[in-house]
């Protein structure tokens, strides 16, 4: 009778350590080229046999992937390996299966790794394997069902690849996994109950993937064709990174961002709780789409709805919003999401800045004006009886989502008002962009989606550059103050005519015209420049001079409003003037009589 030798705890531990060391060393070791011969020869690695050269990537797929890998995520049984192999052949890319790579590294099956070392050790090795695979040349990678649950792995995939969630119903998955013995999470358990629990736990994380494709019991080639078509048609949103001394955040511009808001925001929110602040005009149009997008990744959201219009940007509504936030029992990690135009963004941002000494904040602007101006840069605030934005705070958002599809719901007047801030960017510091505006401004206001997206992106890029250099408007000259081109006059017009009676962008357009006229009178720019600027604003349907407002306006009262402007320093008015198109600068020594004469000649009464 053979003698049985019991392993001591020390011996068992050493064996575990040697096996796991093999996994760690391999996962951090040489690239795939050094192991290919073993992959193809290994019975355990037959799932990686789709490593062959095929035709080059089709043009549409090449553009969509942008040189990145494709990572398939989803629950066990959805077909990631079989579809991945076919997809790789069609794309002309190598294929790898993360589970198979781990089995080769450890010298045993996934089930054995779970049994010997537990899930935690398995996930450690899995994380390193995926990171190494994606650091190499583009490929198609099938991941295990739990891989995408890991925050670090999701970040790696987000950075290096295009992720595809292969989504299937419970009944489909159950048919595919029943009777299998190579699924550690199913061993000794009821497969239906396990899968149902996994769907509830994992689907909110899978929803962060770039693309989702529904899979059924159809033939694998059909599913592959669906995944391929989804990749071909996928277009990533465009991103700008705004870097500040206190951190950074992205401005995301594109179509359909409301529906994907949860997937985009989940990586940057400290808690899966949020309060959405919106108004009674925007809510019926866009609120449910946003809430559905948040719910897809299990972000619990409450809502606060205010009355639309500039009148809500005051102390009374601010107090109401803060009270409702506290009623919702917000915590310091609960995000405030502003869904609406500039009024909602400024109001919600100020409430977020001051509630519990600061809550995480997200801007989702739905007007052209808000997308290119107020949502970017961290300025928040409300109006008082003394003037516009006199009570406020700098409070940077965690992210800005500019969904250009929301612009389709705006009336032409709102689009034109927002366009004034776009043209302003070119007039401040980018003459070539203003020339682009002259050629494309009518298309932007007319609803051309491509022109609108380009305009939003370029205007935001310009503002991000300026804000990044002077976040809190502290430079004595130029800096962020340049963004106030036209605003000294514009804010005075708003205060005099009544907030909401003239749109902010309309007032800014008139103010820019006045600023260029004043610059020409003082000899700073060519007299042809204000003519060019005002002509362009008129051509796109914006008021370009005071006379076009058809109101009796007192020049003396406008100057009084200007002197209460927050940009006044030591009692001296500060103007943004121009030496030409794209050559703005700040000045504090503008003669008062020059301003009075300008307003008088523009049609103001004493």
Contacts of 587 (CB under 8 A, 6+ apart): 574, 575, 576, 577
Which residues of the chain are modeled with pLDDT < 70? 1-59, 62, 179-185, 187-188
CATH 3.40.50.1970 maps onto the chain at 238-410
Tell me, yes or no, if 480 is annotated catalytic.
yes
| 208 part of the active site | no
**Which one of the listed residues 101, 103, 126, 473 is annotated catalytic?**
473
Q: Is 501 annotated as catalytic?
A: no
> Pick the catalytic residue: 85, 487, 561, 574?
487
Active-site option among 167, 463, 536, 574: 463
Is 357 marked active-site?
yes
Q: Which of 96, 480, 536, 567 is catalytic?
A: 480
**What is the DSSP track for 419-432?**
HHHHHHHHHHH-HH
Residue linked to tokens 């190499």: 136
Q: Label the pairing between strands 575-578 and 584-587.
A: antiparallel
Residues of the chain with CATH 3.40.50.300: 12-233
313: annotated active-site residue = no
pLDDT for 573 equals 87
Name the active-site residue from 80, 379, 398, 567: 379
Say whether 7 is catalytic: no
**Annotated catalytic residue 379:** yes
| 480, 431 contact by CB (below 8 A) | no
Query: Is 603 in a helix, a strand, or coil?
Result: coil
Convert the pLDDT of each residue in 392-443 to its tens digit. 999 999 999 999 999 999 999 999 999 999 999 999 999 999 999 999 999 9
Domain with CATH 1.20.1090.10 in the chain: 462-601
The label of the residue with tokens 């190598």 reads 94
Residue among 484, 494, 506, 567 flagged as catalytic = 484
Identify whether the C-beta of residue 456 lies closer than 8 Å to the C-beta of residue 404. Answer: yes
Query: Topology of 238-410 in CATH?
Result: Rossmann fold (3.40.50)
CATH number of 12-233: 3.40.50.300
Contact 28, 101 (CB under 8 A): no
DSSP letter string, 112-170:
HHHHHHHHHHHHHHHHHHHHHHHTSS--EEE--TTGGGSHHHHHHHHHHEEEEEEE--H
Verify whether residue 37 is a known catalytic residue.
Answer: no
Identify the pLDDT of residue 42: 28
pTM (predicted TM-score): 0.85
In tens, the pLDDT along 517-540 reads 999 999 999 999 999 999 999 999
For residues 221 and 215, is the Cβ–Cβ distance under 8 A?
no
Residue of 90, 491, 561, 567 marked catalytic: 491
Q: Which entry of 504, 536, 561, 574 is annotated as an active-site residue?
A: 504
Please indicate whether residue 473 is annotated as part of the active site: yes
Find the catalytic residue in 310, 421, 438, 471. 421
Architecture (CATH level 2) of domain 462-601:
Up-down Bundle (1.20)
Q: Which residue has the tokens 């370009």?
A: 544
Active-site annotation holds for 302 = no
């Amino acid at each position: 009778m053979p003698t049985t030798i019991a392993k001591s705890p020390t011996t068992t531990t050493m064996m575990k350590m040697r096996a796991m060391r093999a996994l760690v060393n391999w996962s951090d070791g040489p690239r795939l080229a050094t192991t290919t011969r073993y992959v193809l020869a290994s019975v355990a690695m037959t799932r990686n046999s789709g490593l062959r050269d095929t035709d080059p990537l089709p043009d549409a797929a090449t553009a969509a992937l942008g040189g990145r890998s494709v990572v398939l995520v989803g629950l066990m049984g959805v077909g990631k390996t079989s579809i991945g192999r076919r997809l790789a052949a069609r794309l002309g890319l190598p294929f790898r299966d993360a589970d198979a790579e781990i089995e080769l590294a450890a010298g045993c099956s996934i089930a054995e790794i779970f049994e010997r070392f537990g899930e935690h050790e398995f996930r450690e090795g899995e994380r390193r394997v995926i990171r190494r695979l994606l650091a190499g040349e583009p490929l198609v990678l099938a991941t295990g069902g739990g891989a995408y649950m890991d925050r670090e792995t999701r970040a790696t995939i987000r950075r290096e690849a295009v992720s595809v969630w292969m989504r299937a119903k419970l009944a489909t998955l159950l048919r595919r996994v029943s009777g299998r013995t190579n699924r550690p999470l199913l061993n000794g358990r009821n497969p239906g109950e396990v899968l149902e629990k996994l769907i509830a736990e994992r689907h909110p994380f899978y929803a962060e993937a770039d693309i989702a494709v529904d899979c059924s019991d159809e033939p694998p080639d059909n599913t592959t064709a669906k995944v391929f078509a989804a990749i071909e048609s996928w277009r990533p949103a465009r991103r700008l990174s705004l870097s500040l001394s206190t951190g950074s955040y992205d401005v995301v511009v594109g179509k359909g961002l409301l529906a994907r808001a949860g997937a985009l925001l989940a990586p940057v929110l400290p808690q899966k709780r949020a309060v959405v602040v919106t108004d009674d005009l925007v809510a019926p149009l866009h609120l449910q789409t946003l809430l559905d997008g948040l719910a897809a990744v299990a972000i619990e959201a409450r809502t606060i709805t205010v009355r639309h219009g500039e009148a809500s940007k005051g102390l009374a509504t601010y107090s109401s919003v803060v009270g409702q936030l506290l009623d919702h029992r917000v915590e310091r990690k609960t995000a405030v999401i502003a869904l609406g135009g500039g009024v909602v963004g400024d109001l919600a941002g100020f409430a977020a800045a001051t509630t519990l000494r600061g809550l995480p904040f997200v801007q989702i602007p739905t007007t052209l004006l808000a997308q290119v101006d107020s949502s970017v840069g961290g300025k928040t605030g409300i109006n008082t009886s003394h003037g516009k934005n006199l009570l406020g705070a700098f409070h940077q958002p965690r992210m800005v989502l500019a969904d250009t599809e929301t612009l389709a719901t705006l009336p032409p007047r709102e689009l034109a008002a927002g366009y004034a801030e776009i043209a302003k960017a070119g007039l401040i510091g980018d003459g070539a962009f203003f020339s682009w505006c002259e050629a494309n401004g009518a298309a932007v206001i007319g609803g051309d989606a491509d022109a609108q997206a380009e305009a939003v992106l370029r205007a935001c890029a310009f503002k991000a550059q300026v804000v990044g250099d002077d976040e809190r408007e502290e430079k004595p000259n130029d800096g962020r103050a340049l963004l106030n081109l036209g605003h000294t006059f514009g804010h005075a017009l708003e205060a005099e005519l009544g907030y909401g009676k003239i749109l902010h962008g309309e007032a800014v357009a008139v103010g820019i015209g006045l600023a260029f006229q004043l610059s020409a009178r003082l000899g700073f720019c060519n007299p042809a420049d204000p003519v060019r600027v005002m002509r362009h604003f008129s051509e796109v349907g914006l008021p370009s001079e005071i006379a076009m407002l058809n109101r009796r306006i007192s020049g003396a009262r406008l100057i009084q409003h200007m002197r209460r402007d927050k940009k006044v320093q030591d009692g001296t008015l500060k103007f943004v003037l121009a030496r030409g198109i794209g050559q703005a600068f700040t000045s504090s020594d503008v003669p008062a009589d020059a301003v009075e004469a300008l307003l008088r000649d523009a049609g103001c009464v004493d």
